[in-house]
Each structure stands twice: as C-alpha cells, then as structure tokens.
C-alpha cells in the first residue's frame, strides 16, 4: 500500500482497547460521580505504572524508546532518512486527581496507533516518527503546567524544573531520580520536523455543533498565581469585628472580585478559577490566620490578560487595606497566547475534509504540550468532541470510540504527509 492511499484507516478497536487498559492504571472509584476515574499525578507510582505499560507497547511495536533529562519519553520509528528530523506526535499520560481516561492519553495512544497502523501496512516514511510522552503536563502535582514540554522546548530551565516541589515538599528531581527517569537525551531537545497532537476538546463547542474535528488555531494565555495571605488567629466568639485580621475573608473577597472581573466583560474572554484554598489553622472556632489560594487565569487575548493581572494586583492591595492582612503573590505559570501556523491548521483541515469529516476552527481553552513544542517547530492540534458538554478534569469525561478514531485517522494522514513517502 502506498502512503497516499486515502482508504487507509487506523484500527479503532485496538485504539479503544489501549485507552481502556491505560485507563485502568491509577483507577479509583469516585463516590460522587458513581464511576471509576483516573488518578495518575505526575511521577507518582501510578504514573510510572502507566509509563511502563505504554513503553512496553511502544517496544512491542518496534520503537526505540529514549528519555530526556526531565523524564520526557520519545519512542522512535525509523524512517528512510534517519538523519532527518522526526515528525513528532504525542501528549501526556499524567493526570489530575479526578481525571477521565482521555485527557492526554488519546494523543499518546493515538500516536502509537498511527505507528501500529504503518507497521500493519508495511509503510516506511522518509522522516522518522517519534511518539512523545511529556512529563507533568497537568501541573497538578508540581504547580506549573506543561513542565516537561517546556523544558524540552527550552522555556523552563532543567535545574528550575528539578527544584519544583509538590505540596509535601518532594522535588521533581528526587522523583526523577527515584524512578531512574532522568535520561540521556539533552534538553532543550533538537527541533523536530513538525509536531502534531490529537486531544479531546475538553469544552462544549464541538459537541454542540455536531462537528467531528476541531482544527485548533492556537492555545489561549495562561497565568497561574499562588497567593499567601497572613492575618491573625483569634477567638471566633470573643473577637469583635474591628479586632479581626481574617485571612479567610480576604481570600473570599479576592475570589468574588475575580468572578466580577470575568462577568464584567472588560477583560475579553477572561476566565478565572480559584481551584485551591487552604486556611490555617482550618478550625471552626478560630479566625483564620493564614490562607493559601491559587488563581488560574485564561485569556485568548494577551493584552486583556495583562490588564486583568494588573487589576487583580490592585484588588489585592485593596483587600489588604480593608481587612488588615498582608498578601504575597507568586507567579507559578505563565504562557502567552500561542497561534499555530496556518500550514498546520490547513493540513489538519485538508485531511479532515478528505476523510469526509466536518470540521471547525477553534482556540484551545486548555493548555497543551503542543503550545510549548510550537517554539521548536511547526505545530498543530486536532480536537475531537467529548460528551456531556465536553466535561473534563472529571471522571465523567467521555469521548466515543468513533470520535477518537476520527481524530487519529486525521492524525495518521497528516503525519504521512509531514513524514513523506519512504517506499514509493
């Protein structure tokens, strides 16, 4: 079979079985959802078990598996020209604490399915193909997202990445060393020829419009902050209002103000989330002495994002004054809006159309490794719809076997065009 055969399709059942099997690694029963979810926080034993399962499949498919200094995995299928830069596909298999089985896994297992399909049909490409698994894409454990791909792309320095800690003070470096994951591949990595990532949309746009493929224009800006508020612990019954310096109240005021900023429409399509808030000493009859809160800001417009950040700083100063607390603010993640090149958008759109799939252009709400690798080479993304308004970071996350197969069929044909013919 030649690589331009448009009848070529992946094995949808094999892809689904792989998603299912990886989804059982780190599975937990979620009482609220009444179903099993996935918990594979980066570099935990569950994440390592997932990596071992997938790298076993990669080796069985004939791929040469290497690891870089920050534990990113690259599984290489040789091309006709092995001096040529590889076409890279991939994503992540680490998860948030309440995940489904698709976020990231579709991109990695879809990349593997592309390779398995090429193997089945004896197709050689000119460029090698590499399937990547990036470390700590979620940022859910070590506090900054796209950590592995940012190190691979040179945005985050390796030493800074290794020094990052989780909430228990465990460092990335010690976890990499504990699992023997600090590999030989130098970072930043050599630029791939191109990078493509298939992912579930994680939002409602595609499912609402019955569109089969999302052609991703780019990724919106992300800013993460950690605020530490210090007030004074005091007796809940005996301390009058005027003598309180209530850190919990200050946290609540900031949370409400963020919501008002979003609702005001003055910051474009700003979204703001306080995902973590911990009071100290966290007891019923003590005015909170301290509060830690995280702020996640998203905005497709970089200038509107900058305005929101400046106004949040003003709001923090006002809350300090009004409540008598002190607040320190630390930026833990910050990426600008990323636009994928037209060539990659057109490529995805062309192959979706060739395969008879309806498609729609959209900007990604979530952060992705593709946003980082875009600094190294032409990069793009393929989205597929999820059910239930595309809910994600929730065990209810679900994409159908057909939708997953659609995305990976488009990936297959786009990769074949990028990697070029080796046996014709």
Is 367 a binding residue for ligand GLV by CB under 6 A? The answer is yes
Burial group, residue 31, by CB count within 10 angstroms (0-12, 13-18, 19+)? exposed
In the three-class reduction of DSSP (H, G, I as helix; E, B as strand; rest coil), residue 197 is classed as strand
Quote the least distance from Cβ 220 to ligand GLV, whole Å.
9
Nearer to Mn ion, 59 or 388 (CB): 388
Quote the least distance from Cβ 95 to ligand GLV, whole Å.
9
Contacts with Mn ion: how many residues (CB under 5 A)? 2
Is 366 a binding residue for ligand GLV by CB under 6 A? The answer is yes
Is 103 a binding residue for Mn ion by CB under 5 A? The answer is yes
CA dihedral of residues 142, 271, 371, 304 (deg, nearest 10): -120
Cα gap 371→192, rounded to integer Å: 14
Nearer to ligand GLV, 248 or 371 (CB): 371
How many Cβ atoms sit within 10 Å of the Cβ of residue 402?
Answer: 11
Cα gap 183→191, rounded to integer Å: 18
Is 107 a binding residue for Mn ion by CB under 5 A? The answer is no
Quote the least distance from Cβ 213 to ligand GLV, whole Å.
20
Q: Which two tokens stand for residue 383?
A: 């989205």
**Residue 145 contact partner, candidates ligand GLV, Mn ion, none, CB within 5 to 8 A by sort of partner:** ligand GLV
Nearer to ligand GLV, 113 or 145 (CB): 145
**Residue 111 contact partner, candidates ligand GLV, Mn ion, none, CB within 5 to 8 A by sort of partner:** none
Quote the least distance from Cβ 400 to ligand GLV, whole Å.
21
Quote the least distance from Cβ 238 to Mn ion, whole Å.
46
Measuring CA to CA, how many Å separate 132 from each of 195, 282, 362? 10, 42, 24
CA dihedral of residues 53, 59, 63, 69 (deg, nearest 10): 60
Among 130, 145, 175, 289, binds ligand GLV (CB under 6 A): 145
Cα gap 283→235, rounded to integer Å: 11
Quote the least distance from Cβ 80 to Mn ion, whole Å.
32
**Residue 289 contact partner, candidates Mn ion, ligand GLV, none, CB within 5 to 8 A by sort of partner:** none
Nearer to ligand GLV, 149 or 246 (CB): 149
Is 289 a binding residue for ligand GLV by CB under 6 A? The answer is no
Cα gap 249→236, rounded to integer Å: 13
β-bridge mates for residue 66, sequence order: 74
**Residue 126 contact partner, candidates Mn ion, ligand GLV, none, CB within 5 to 8 A by sort of partner:** none
Nearer to ligand GLV, 156 or 366 (CB): 366
How many Cβ atoms sit within 10 Å of the Cβ of residue 45?
Answer: 12
Quote the least distance from Cβ 125 to ligand GLV, whole Å.
30
Nearer to ligand GLV, 15 or 366 (CB): 366
Among 50, 71, 86, 104, binds Mn ion (CB under 5 A): 104
Quote the least distance from Cβ 126 to ligand GLV, whole Å.
33
Return the range that interacts with Mn ion (CB under 5 A); candidates 99-107, 178-186, 249-257, 282-290: 99-107
Nearer to Mn ion, 102 or 267 (CB): 102
DSSP secondary structure string, 140-177?
A: TTTSSTTHHHHHHHTSS-HHHHHH-B-TTS-BHHHHHH
Among 126, 130, 138, 372, binds ligand GLV (CB under 6 A): 138
Quote the least distance from Cβ 197 to Mn ion, whole Å.
9
β-bridge mates for residue 335, sequence order: 222
Is 300 a binding residue for Mn ion by CB under 5 A? The answer is no
CB 201, CB 110: distance < 8 Å:
no
Give the contacts of 266 (CB within 8 A, at least 6 positions apart). 307
Residue window 25-64: x/- pattern of binding to ligand GLV, with contact defined by CB under 6 A: ----------------------------------------
Measuring CA to CA, how many Å separate 241 from each of 238, 282, 288, 316, 322? 10, 19, 13, 20, 12
Give the helix/strand (H/E) hosting 260.
helix 247-264
Minimal CB distance residue for Mn ion: 104
Is 79 a binding residue for ligand GLV by CB under 6 A? The answer is no
Quote the least distance from Cβ 99 to Mn ion, whole Å.
7
Its sign, for the CA torsion 44, 50, 51, 52, is positive
Cα gap 365→422, rounded to integer Å: 37
Q: Under the rule (CB under 6 A), what is the footprint of ligand GLV? A: 138, 145, 366-367
Q: Under the rule (CB under 5 A), what is the footprint of Mn ion? A: 103-104
């Amino acid at each position: 079979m030649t690589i331009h055969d448009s009848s070529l399709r992946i094995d949808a059942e094999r892809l689904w079985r792989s998603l299912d099997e990886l989804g059982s690694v780190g599975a937990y029963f979620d009482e609220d959802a009444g179903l099993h979810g996935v918990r594979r926080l980066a570099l935990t034993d569950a994440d390592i078990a997932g990596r071992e399962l997938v790298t076993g499949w990669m080796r069985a498919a004939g791929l040469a598996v290497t690891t870089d200094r920050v534990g990113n995995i690259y599984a290489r299928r040789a091309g006709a020209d092995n001096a040529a830069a590889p076409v890279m596909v991939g994503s992540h298999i680490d998860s948030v604490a309440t995940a489904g089985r698709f976020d990231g896994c579709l991109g990695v297992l879809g990349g593997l399915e592309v390779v398995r399909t090429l193997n089945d049909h004896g197709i050689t490409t000119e460029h090698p193909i590499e399937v990547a698994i990036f470390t700590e894409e979620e940022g859910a454990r070590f506090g900054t997202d796209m950590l592995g791909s940012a190190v691979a792309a040179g945005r985050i320095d390796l030493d800074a990445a290794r020094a990052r800690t989780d909430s228990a003070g465990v460092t990335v470096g010690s976890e990499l060393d504990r699992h023997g994951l600090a590999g030989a591949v130098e970072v930043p990595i050599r630029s791939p020829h191109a990078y493509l990532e298939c992912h579930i949309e994680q939002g409602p746009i595609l499912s609402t419009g019955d569109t089969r493929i999302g052609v991703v224009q780019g990724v919106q800006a992300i800013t993460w902050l950690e605020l530490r508020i210090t007030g004074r612990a005091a007796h809940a019954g005996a301390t009058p209002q005027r003598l309180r310096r209530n850190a919990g109240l200050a946290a609540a005021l900031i949370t409400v103000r963020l919501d008002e900023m979003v609702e005001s429409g003055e910051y474009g399509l700003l979204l703001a989330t306080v995902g973590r808030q911990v009071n100290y000493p966290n007891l019923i009859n003590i005015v909170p002495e301290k509060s830690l809160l995280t702020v996640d800001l998203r905005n497709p417009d970089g200038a509107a994002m900058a305005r929101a950040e400046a106004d949040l700083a003003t709001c923090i100063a006002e809350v300090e004054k009004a409540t008598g607390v002190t607040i320190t603010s630390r930026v833990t993640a910050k990426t600008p809006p990323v636009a994928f090149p037209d060539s990659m958008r057109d490529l995805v759109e062309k192959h979706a159309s060739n395969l008879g799939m309806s498609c729609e252009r959209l900007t990604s709400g979530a952060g992705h490794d593709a946003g980082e690798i875009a600094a190294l080479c032409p990069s793009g993304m393929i989205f597929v719809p999820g059910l239930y308004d595309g809910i994600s970071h929730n065990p209810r996350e679900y994409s159908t076997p057909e939708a997953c197969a659609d995305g990976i069929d488009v990936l297959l044909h786009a990769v074949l065009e990028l990697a070029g013919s080796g046996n014709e």
